[in-house]
């Protein structure tokens, strides 16, 4: 009885195999991977061949296909293994796609939150700064109150600069290697940075001395380059000598092979030699009471390097062995002829 059922089972297997192949071919455009479909079609073809061979044998038609059955029995588990591996890889790729999709969505949310936060904080700081400056005018006769209000104004300005640096850092991380360099007039960038810094510190004049005074220099840059000089001007204002009512900056520009070299020198308190090596490290700050966030110079270095240049710090060339005479930042940027 069981022997009589074997041809029937082979026949049913053959029919179901044909149906499965038809379905796979009919719905081939669905999400199943092409490699998985090919492997499954191969397995079904082997099953059909095996069933068809058995049907012919049990029906006493012919057993000519028996010689291939051993080979098929070896190949079939192998293809099942391939199929299993293909499905596992498919699941992993699906998980990877879902993870990437989640990361993209989280990135969009974080960017939105960052934009909202920094925009609102800057607006709040602007209002607070305006009110504090009005208050300073009202209490200017009271030295103690004036000092407290001035410290508050300084803190608000520092907060605005920190927010700006955070936004720049985020922009740098987003751009990475995708900077689109364009010709930039260097002196125009420096003058614009000076005006913006002067807006933050209106009570402390910035005086620039260019050498040479007439020649303009064009470098391969980006609008973000302006922030390098804003950070340098800000540091010169913050770390000036106490008796300095005016911050004087000497800027010397010359070409050096394929680079334009900018030497930015101030007359502030300087940077001790032992700190010069790590002054561009993130959160590195000088050991005195006028501390900043430590982000400005680190971000400036990132910007210059992203533009294909470099930046370093030395003592002023007039006083190479005396750091307290002021500091010089030497910036090299790619020239545009």
Whether residue 113 lies inside any domain: the answer is: no
- Last residue within a domain, chosen from 102, 122, 140: 102
Name, of 22-26, 183-187, 319-323, the range with top average pLDDT: 183-187
Instruction: Indicate whether 62 and 184 sit together in one domain.
Output: no
pLDDT tens-digit map of 248-266: 999 999 998 899 999 999 9
**Residue 208: what pLDDT?**
94
For the chain, what is the domain count? 2
Whether residue 9 lies inside any domain: the answer is: yes
**Residue 323: what pLDDT?**
87
pLDDT tens-digit map of 195-205: 988 887 888 89
Give the three-class secondary structure for 250. strand
Residue 95 tokens read as 């998980």
Q: Where are the extended beta strands (E) located within the chain?
A: 182-185, 206-211, 218-221, 247-256, 259-265, 310-315, 327-334
Q: Give the domain CATH number at 256.
A: 3.30.565.10
- Last residue within a domain, chosen from 102, 120, 145: 102
**Between 205 and 337, whose confidence is greater?**
205
Residue 336 contacts by C-beta under 8 Å, 6 or more apart in sequence? 183, 218, 219, 220
Name, of 52-56, 162-166, 202-206, the range with top average pLDDT: 202-206
Residue 261 domain boundaries: 180-334
| Residue 12 scores a pLDDT above 70 | no
Q: How many CA atoms lie within 13 A of 277 on its CB side?
A: 2
pLDDT tens-digit map of 92-147: 777 787 888 887 887 777 777 677 666 777 777 888 888 888 888 888 888 888 88
Give CA–CA dist 221/184, Å, rounded.
6
**Residue 103: what pLDDT?**
79
> Model confidence at 1, in pLDDT bands (50, 70, 90)?
very low
Give CA–CA dist 44/24, Å, rounded.
10
- On whether the CB atoms of residues 262 and 211 are closer than 8 A, the answer is no
> Model confidence at 206, in pLDDT bands (50, 70, 90)?
very high
| Residue 78 scores a pLDDT above 70 | no
């Amino acid at each position: 009885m069981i022997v009589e059922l074997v041809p029937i089972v082979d026949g049913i297997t053959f029919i179901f195999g044909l149906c499965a192949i038809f379905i796979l071919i009919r719905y081939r455009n669905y999400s199943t991977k092409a490699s998985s479909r090919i492997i499954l079609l191969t397995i079904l073809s082997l099953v059909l061949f095996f069933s068809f061979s058995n049907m012919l044998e049990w029906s006493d038609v012919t057993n000519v296909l028996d010689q291939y059955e051993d080979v098929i029995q070896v190949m079939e588990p192998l293809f099942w293994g391939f199929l299993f591996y293909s499905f596992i890889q498919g699941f992993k790729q699906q998980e990877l796609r879902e993870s990437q999709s989640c990361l993209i969505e989280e990135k969009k949310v974080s960017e939105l939150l960052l934009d909202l936060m920094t925009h609102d904080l800057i607006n709040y700081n602007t209002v607070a700064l305006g009110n504090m400056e009005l208050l300073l005018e009202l209490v200017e006769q009271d030295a103690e109150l004036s000092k407290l209000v001035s410290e508050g104004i300084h803190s608000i300005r520092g907060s605005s600069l920190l927010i700006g640096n955070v936004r720049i850092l985020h922009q740098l991380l987003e751009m990475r290697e995708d900077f689109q360099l364009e010709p930039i007039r260097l002196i125009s960038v420096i003058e614009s940075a000076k005006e913006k810094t002067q807006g933050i510190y209106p009570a402390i004049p910035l005086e620039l001395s260019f050498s040479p005074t007439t020649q303009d220099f064009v470098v391969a840059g980006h609008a973000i380059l302006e922030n390098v000089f804003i950070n340098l001007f800000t540091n010169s204002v913050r770390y000036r000598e106490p008796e300095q009512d005016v911050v004087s900056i000497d800027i010397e520009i010359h070409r050096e092979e394929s680079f334009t070299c900018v030497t930015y020198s101030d007359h502030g308190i300087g940077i001790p030699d032992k700190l010069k090596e790590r002054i561009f490290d993130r959160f590195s700050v000088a050991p005195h009471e006028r501390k900043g966030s430590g982000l400005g110079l680190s971000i400036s270095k990132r910007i210059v390097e992203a533009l294909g240049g470099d930046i370093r710090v030395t003592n002023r060339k007039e006083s190479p062995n005396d750091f307290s005479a002021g500091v010089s930042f030497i910036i090299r940027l790619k020239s545009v002829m």
